[in-house]
A = this chain, B = another copy of it.
Amino acid sequence: MSLEKNVDSPYIGTQSINLGSQTNCLKMNKTGVAIVGLGTVGQGVAQLLLDHGDRTARHAGRTLWLTHVVVKDIHKPRDVDLPAGIITNDLNKVINDDSVKVVAQLVGGIEPARSIILKLLESGKDVVTANKALLAEHGPEIFDRARQLGRSVAFEASAAGGIPIITNVSQCLSANQIESLHAILNGTSNFILSKMDSEGGDYQSALTLAQKLGLAEADPAMDVDGTDAAQKLAILAHLCFGARVHWSDIPRRGIDSIDERDLKFSKHLGYRIKLIAFAKLAGTGIQLMVSPMLVKTGKPLAEVQANFNAVSVVGDAVGPVFFHGQGAGQMPTASAVVADMIDTAVGRTAITFKTLELWADGHQRVDFAEPGDLEGRYYMRFDVVDQPGVMGQITGRLGQHGISIASVYQHETQNEHQQTVPIVIMTHAAKESAARAAMKQIADMPTVAESPERFRILS
């Protein structure tokens, strides 16, 4: 069997490729493309374009012809074999080459990435990017400029990597009002929580293991403090709800302060703790947050293991739809970037981009719910002095705030030197403002140790 019969590589001196798999050996048109930034993802994109030109040609009806690869240091050794003469450190080679229509901008961080994208748009190129931090920070400027110039920006790889969630919410589910989106968008955090859950260790050991396996950066702050998930959620909230939100305005908490005991107690109750990017329409507006939450074992989001990502979307017509895949990594991300390059080359992106609600001057289509008004069920854990009456004081205080208790677990003291015992309370639905006020009062009680814990239960 040959999957790729009679297909010449676009890099063996031909000017058009012979697409053996189609009827009349169509002579293919070419669309010039370029890559800016040859890091891990850039090398993956180059590899897909160079080694699988037949595949992209089949889906695009034309060859995506890699013409320039722009890097800072042209002498740095890299794992990908590029055709002679295409590597350069001069962005103007791309800017001034009219044959180049689509550019994958894969430089990370804010600058010079932002300036490069604006220059590319101004020179008439359509842009594909995986840079979620840049879009979360300067998306409105970039999207507005692209619209003014009649260009497009595609960014499938900016959220959930290999899961094509951007296309799914902005195209496939377009007949729906999205009612909620609950997602695991940070693979590093999910890896750490999965390890702590399955092997019972503490946060620091799991983080160290993740770093050893290349699944966490030397400085993991952006991943484990919720920033990365909030940046991705901001993009998705624009697309799903027409929300105008800067990522830093999304209430967020990471997993870096998580106590392994809470994973253990949750597991005992039939839940797993996951870092959830949460968006939900409620009566008073949209709720957005990033936080560790309890998810019932057996629910799809609870079963997401290792560094995988997943997105659970509810649409008013389609009902619940669940997506699961690799949220990062060289080839899953490159898969999303190259799909965007194909969509852009054939004209699908130009059509879709016009109707995405992403620009700065757009009218906000939803209001934000007042955070205190949000209703949710809660997991609460208090470390209390082991003496009679304490349980009654705590439950009484919750009752005063109108918080109804679903279940209570007092765990045994783990060793005799411990001064306190943990009490875990699962509540029925209660207002955030009430839960916050009750927690504060209980924490002030002399029989309760500092730093009680509270997590939302995802329903």
Contacts and interface: CB of A to CB of B under 8 A. Distances in A.
A363 B298 CA distance: 44
Nearest to A7: B365
B367 A1 contact: yes
Contacts of A335: 173, 175-176, 315, 317-318
Contacts of A331: 316-319
A172 B154 CA distance: 12
A355 B61 contact: yes
A23 B363 contact: yes
A59 B286 CA distance: 20
Contacts of A168: 164, 167-168, 172
Contact of A361 (B23, B176, B325, B365): B23
Interface residues of A, number: 79
A56 interface: yes
Instruction: Specify the main secondary structure of chain A where it touches its partner.
Output: mixed
B167 A22 contact: no
A285 B1 contact: yes
A373 to B, nearest CB: 11
Contacts of A171: 59, 167, 339, 343, 348
Contact of A339 (B173, B329, B336): B173
A306 to B, nearest CB: 12
Interface string A308-339: 00000001111111111110010110111111
Contacts of A98: none
A42 interface: no
Nearest to A284: B1
A365 to B, nearest CB: 4
Interface of A: 1, 3-5, 20-23, 44, 48, 52, 55-56, 58-61, 156, 162-164, 167-168, 170-177, 242, 281, 283-286, 298, 300, 303, 315-326, 329, 331-332, 334-339, 342-343, 346-348, 351-352, 354-355, 357, 359, 361-363, 365-367, 369
